Structure 1
Amino acid sequence: MILIAFFLLHWYFSLFCQSFFLHRYAAHQMFSMSKYWEKFFYIFTWITQGSSYLSPRAYAVLHRMHHAYSDTPKDPHSPHHTENLFTMMWKTKNIYNDYFSFKLKPEERFSKDVPDWNKFDLFADSMMARVGWALFYILVYVLSISVFELAGTHWWMYFLLPIHLMMGPVHGAIVNWSGHKYGYANFDNNDKSKNSLLLDVLMLGELFQNNHHKLPNRPNFAVKWYEFDPTYPIVKILHASGIIKLRTT
């Protein structure tokens, strides 16, 4: 069970950073924080995403483009303009890399006021850092299964390793694919965004895409009484503690 617990901790801490820091803060600026806490969450995001670290700056640019061009051919990650999940992920990766490396310059509306710690991004994106995290994940599994033979560990758990290695893009792929193909719509947003209620237990509120596209600056992605955004209470606690300051409450 130790490896299942390790996998779940990696899954949900990585997902929280993507939802809280990359999505709600970097892309939408739903709340503000001091430079100290911004750098703290940069580092915390790197620790939780590990080998699949995503730059807050490049993530924010792509996500703002996604809202502006939702489900049109200019959307950087719409499932309706790619052949399958994997071609969507590959297309997103290429566009992300172009903006991360400054090969492409975004429109000002997509880059205005996004957090930018370029030196840290270059370190976190380096081959050395990514390989280091990959070796760490592999070592945890090898020691748990083969060396110490801990109770509850089995050989089939090695199949979880590719998800560890690609955790950030895996989360993004689930949200962008499922959140624009499966579920129900509370609002007519002139796109194909959906609320995938049954799958959102895995995604900490990120699959209320239809609600979010209607109300993109609302920190609570849930709207109906039967919907629950697990990240929002944490946002409220961080606001109450003074770590962040909500722009809209």
Structure 2
Amino acid sequence: MIILYFFLAHWYLSLFAQTFFLHRYAAHQMFTMSRTWEKVFYVMTFIFQGSSYLSPYAYGVMHRLHHAYADTDKDPHSPSYSKNLFDMMWKTKNIYNDILNHRANIDAKFTKGVPYWRFIEKIGDIWAVRIGWGVLYTLVYMEFATAWWMYLLLPIHYLMGPVHGAIINWFAHKFGYVNFKVSDTAKNLLPFDFLMMGESYHNNHHKLGGRANFGVKWHEFDPTYPVIKLFNLLGVIKLKLNNDLNYM
């Protein structure tokens, strides 16, 4: 049971860092926070994502490109312009690395206000650091795994961030239902998002890109939003006005 708890903790902590800090803050700036809190969440993202750490800067810029060019040949990750899931993720990796290493020619409107802390950005992308996290996960399994099949979960630990991205960027553009007519193929993958902390309400998000609550219908519970509301109440962040409006 310890291994399953460890896996679930890593899954949801990594996912929280991605949806709260990288997506809703870095890319969309749905709320503001002080420089001190920004650095706190930078460090938390580094710890929670570990070996699959994703740069808030590169993620934020790339996600803005996704919204601007969704399902066109300029989209960093569109199933419509990829042969298969692995082809899409390989293209995404290359674009991500170009942005991370400042090799891409990006219009200033896509980089404006995106957080950047050079120290963590560099540390998190060092291969020795990524491998070190992977070794740590493996040691936990060696100590606590009670069945051979548990080791099949290890590759997900190593690639947790990209796995989360693939679920939404591929499957939520192919399967699911729609609440809103949009100009791309974004769909709501799950009617009750127990798996992706609100990220699976992709059609809602593509329609209402600045809205912090990704759920709109009565059954569409976004688990990240109550945390956002709590942080706002505690003064950790400042939620922008009109970000909790009901649409349906």
When residues 199 and 88 of structure 1 are mapped into structure 2, their CA distance, relative to the original with a 3 A threshold, is farther
In structure 1, runs of 5+ residues without a counterpart are 146-152
The normalised TM-score by structure 1 is: 0.95
Secondary structure class of the residue paired with 1:201: coil
State whether residues 178 and 188 of structure 2, in contact with CA within 8 Å, keep that contact through their aligned partners in structure 1. Answer: yes
Q: How does 1:29-44 map to 2 (within 5 A)?
A: 29-44=29-44
- TM-superposed CA distance for 1:179, in Å, is 1.4
Post-superposition, which runs of at least 4 consecutive aligned residues in structure 1 deviate over 6 A? none
Q: Structure 2 CA distance, aligned partners of 1:226 and 1:161?
A: 33
1:230 aligns with 2:227: no
Task: Write the deviation string for residues 60-93 of structure 1: whole angstroms up to 9, x where unpaired.
Answer: 0100000000111111011111011111111100
The residue number in structure 2 matching 1:3 is 3
State whether residues 32 and 238 of structure 2, in contact with CA within 8 Å, keep that contact through their aligned partners in structure 1. Answer: yes
- TM-superposed CA distance for 1:119, in Å, is 2.0
- TM-superposed CA distance for 1:41, in Å, is 0.4
Task: Write the deviation string for residues 122-176 of structure 1: whole angstroms up to 9, x where unpaired.
Answer: 011111211110110011111123xxxxxxx211111100000000000000011
The residue number in structure 2 matching 1:121 is 121
Q: How does 1:106-117 map to 2 (within 5 A)?
A: 106-117=106-117
Q: How does 1:78-227 map to 2 (within 5 A)?
A: 78-145=78-145, 153-198=146-191, 200-227=193-220
Q: Output the aligned Cα RMSD.
A: 1.0
Among all aligned residue pairs of Structure 1 and Structure 2, give the percentage whose two residues are the same amino acid: 60
Number of aligned positions between the proteins: 242
The residue number in structure 2 matching 1:149 is none
Q: Structure 2 CA distance, aligned partners of 1:160 and 1:199?
A: 24
Q: Structure 2 CA distance, aligned partners of 1:118 and 1:106?
A: 18
Q: Structure 1 CA distance, aligned partners of 2:6 and 2:105?
A: 39
Amino acid at match of 2:217: K
Amino acid at match of 1:72: T
State whether residues 178 and 207 of structure 1, in contact with CA within 8 Å, keep that contact through their aligned partners in structure 2. Answer: no
State whether residues 192 and 220 of structure 2, in contact with CA within 8 Å, keep that contact through their aligned partners in structure 1. Answer: no
- TM-superposed CA distance for 1:102, in Å, is 0.8
Q: Structure 1 CA distance, aligned partners of 2:201 and 2:229?
A: 18
State whether residues 192 and 221 of structure 2, in contact with CA within 8 Å, keep that contact through their aligned partners in structure 1. Answer: no
Secondary structure class of the residue paired with 2:32: strand
Secondary structure class of the residue paired with 1:224: coil
- TM-superposed CA distance for 1:105, in Å, is 2.9
Task: Write the deviation string for residues 192-212 of structure 1: whole angstroms up to 9, x where unpaired.
Answer: 110112573210000111100
1:48 aligns with 2:85: no
Secondary structure class of the residue paired with 2:99: helix
The normalised TM-score by structure 2 is: 0.95
Q: Structure 2 CA distance, aligned partners of 1:227 and 1:49?
A: 26
